[in-house]
A and B are shown apart, each in its own frame.
Chain A
Amino acid sequence: MLPLLNCPSINTAAAVKISTDFLTKYILPLLGIFAVLLIWTAVAGGVREEKTASGFTKKIKTGLIQDLPGPYETWVKTKKYIVQPFAKREELDQGILRFTWYSLIVVAKGYSIALIIGTPIGFMLGLSKVFTRMFDPIIQILRPVSPLAWMPLGVVLFMGAGKHANDLGALFTIAVCSMWPTVLNTAVGVRAVPQDYLNVAKVLKLSKWKTLWKVLVPATLPYMFTGYRLSLGIAWLVIVAVEMLTGRIGIGNFLWNEYNNGLYTSIILSILTIGFVGWALDRLMSLLESRFKSI
């Protein structure tokens, strides 16, 4: 874009084009954010102080949604979590990114398990009609089950592990819930491998193993990565629920504790953080995904 501006032959049409690009790319999103902030401020509650006849000051809640903190109040009250994002003052009083980091570690573990188990299952579903007939109904039934429902089962499964039961249950829940997109997308990808590629393998009499690694896996990679991206999104959704239930330290747990303590500004901070991190993870995965699609 920029070199165009220095180009002497630039015409007005191009200039207009650049400015509309700039408008749609930066100005419109900013306008959207501004609009939401405005509505938020309008409906948020506040506190008005009033002197009573007996000389005491009385606090009176105002606003449409009295208990919803406004943007400014949120900023003031949560500043300490943001400006020192990695600080650790106390167990339950840490920087917001430090909490996020704890959650990310658990997500990474559970998500890895999901990929390690989900990818081969996807391949088997894609390759074998018998396997599909056998397990597809079970998968379709287990897939829509909420993480809140899996969590207790996870803990029960690892009861024998004593004090680690909660942690293992959390990993189990993340893995089970986030596995399905990987399983299903991989299976679709394997079924979509062009017959031409399989014919190459057949004509060359490639062994099963070679066909898998030289033909099937490379041909399925774009689908697998779509699955991986969706799975990561779900894993990140699940962690919040898991932390609320188990009390593991992390961003979801922070949110829940602060809610119980009546610090509603922290809820908003947590939601925004969870959203940003989820968005960043998704961007990261789609970068990877497009790399494999371009082959």
Chain B
Amino acid sequence: MSVKNPKMLELDRLWKTYDTPKGPTTIVKDFNLKLKEGEFATLIGHSGCGKSTVLMMVAGLSDLSQGNMILAGKEASGPGPDRGIVFQSPCLLPWMTAFENVMLGVNQVYFTASKTERRQMAEYYLTIVGLGDAMHKRPSELSQGMRQRVGIARAFALQPKMLLLDEPFGMLDSLTRYELQEVLLELWRRNRITTLMVTHDVDEAIFLSDRVVMMTNGPEAEVGDILNIPFERPRNRKEIMEDPRYYKLREHLITFLNDRSHIRPSREPTFKPSPDMAAELATQDFPVCTMTA
């Protein structure tokens, strides 16, 4: 890669409108975003705001209602192997081994390479994600974390122009999640593919990305704010956590999310306790629940 493309991905006023029984609902409205080549961006926002919707549109698996999407200077339409995707559940084909799952993509993209080269490529990526010994197992024989490793290896093995990750570690316990974040960074260090990743986890976003894109709440969600993460690469989790800037950044993100949290009800509750119930409640001591950010 000689000259970096300053505009690897350009999302220009993306709209997504779904037809629902109650009439059309606009989930995403005027979503603008530019990603530089080799940039790692995360997309953060409250559940249901439309993060997956944006990602699916970029992946080409969901149509744009309006707007333009330009990938590496070309209008992108429909899905293709130039965008590697990792979902929350890894969607491996259960009748194939981990190796065969990766090979399915490799065969498709490198049809000109020799069979040995293609095998080596799949083995290489599976080994980097730590599945050197388990690559000939079926998904049912692998743990959730190992399956997700296969999913990541499959996406990287395509050597795509872009990597799209939708909460790839959302279903994992925190230990496995940390491990896989390192695996992801290790792969990304070797091959800096432009990445857009959806996450719920503020720390994950700061640790992994160059920029954090915050989305406002839906419907009609758009980009609310963008936060630059200045930490040097390669990153070390411990060093970052000890960096005084870390808490500033974290604070910024949490404030943004808290201001848009769903905790405060927007309408008066329709259910009102009867006088009897209120009296009964008053006579008893209930532990007071407090919400912490």
Q: Which residues in A have some Cβ–Cβ distance to B below 8 Å?
A: 196-197, 199-200, 202-206, 214-215, 218-219, 221, 295
Contacts and interface: CB of A to CB of B under 8 A. Distances in A.
Given A203-B80, A203-B81, A196 B91 contact: yes
Interface in B89-127: 89, 91, 93-95, 104-105, 108-109
B79 A218 contact: no
Given A205-B79, A205-B80, A205-B81, A200 B108 contact: no
Contacts of B83: 203
Given A196-B87, A204-B104, A204-B105, A215 B93 contact: yes
Nearest to B83: A203
B61 interface: yes
B91 A197 contact: yes
Nearest to A197: B93
19 contacts: A196-B89, A197-B91, A199-B85, A199-B91, A200-B91, A202-B78, A203-B61, A203-B80, A203-B83, A204-B81, A204-B104, A205-B79, A205-B108, A206-B108, A214-B93, A215-B93, A218-B93, A295-B95, A295-B140
Nearest to B106: A204
B59 interface: yes
Interface of B: 59-61, 78-81, 83-85, 87, 89, 91, 93-95, 104-105, 108-109, 138, 140, 158
Given A202-B78, A204-B104, A204-B105, 14 more contacts: A196-B87, A196-B89, A197-B91, A202-B61, A203-B59, A203-B84, A203-B85, A204-B109, A205-B81, A205-B108, A206-B104, A215-B93, A219-B95, A295-B138
A22 to B, nearest CB: 33
Contacts of A215: 93
Contacts of A219: 93, 95
Contacts, number: 48
Contacts of B93: 197, 200, 214-215, 218-219
Nearest to A214: B104
Contacts of B79: 199, 202-203, 205
A218 B101 CA distance: 13
A119 to B, nearest CB: 18
A218 B139 CA distance: 15
Contact of B95 (A203, A205, A206, A218): A218
A218 B109 CA distance: 22
A260 to B, nearest CB: 53
Contacts of A295: 94-95, 138, 140
Which 3 pairs show the lowest CB-CB distances between chains A and B? A196-B91, A218-B95, A202-B79
Contacts of A206: 104, 108
Nearest to A196: B91
Contacts of B138: 295
> Which of B83, B85, B95 has the most chain A CB atoms closer than 10 A to its own CB?
B95
> Which of B59, B78, B85, B104 has the most chain A CB atoms closer than 10 A to its own CB?
B104
> Which of B81, B83, B84, B140 has the most chain A CB atoms closer than 10 A to its own CB?
B81
Nearest to B138: A295
Nearest to A215: B93
A148 B279 CA distance: 76
> Which of B59, B83, B89, B108 has the most chain A CB atoms closer than 10 A to its own CB?
B108
A4 to B, nearest CB: 28
B166 to A, nearest CB: 11
Contacts of A196: 87, 89, 91
Nearest to B95: A218
A193 B109 CA distance: 24
Nearest to A206: B108
B61 A199 contact: yes
Contacts of A204: 81, 104-105, 108-109, 158
B212 to A, nearest CB: 26
Nearest to B87: A196
B180 to A, nearest CB: 20
A95 B79 CA distance: 64
A205 B108 CA distance: 8
A120 B31 CA distance: 44
A113 to B, nearest CB: 27
A202 B85 CA distance: 11
A121 to B, nearest CB: 23
Contacts of B105: 204
A215 B94 CA distance: 10
A258 to B, nearest CB: 49
A206 to B, nearest CB: 6
Nearest to B84: A203
Nearest to B139: A295
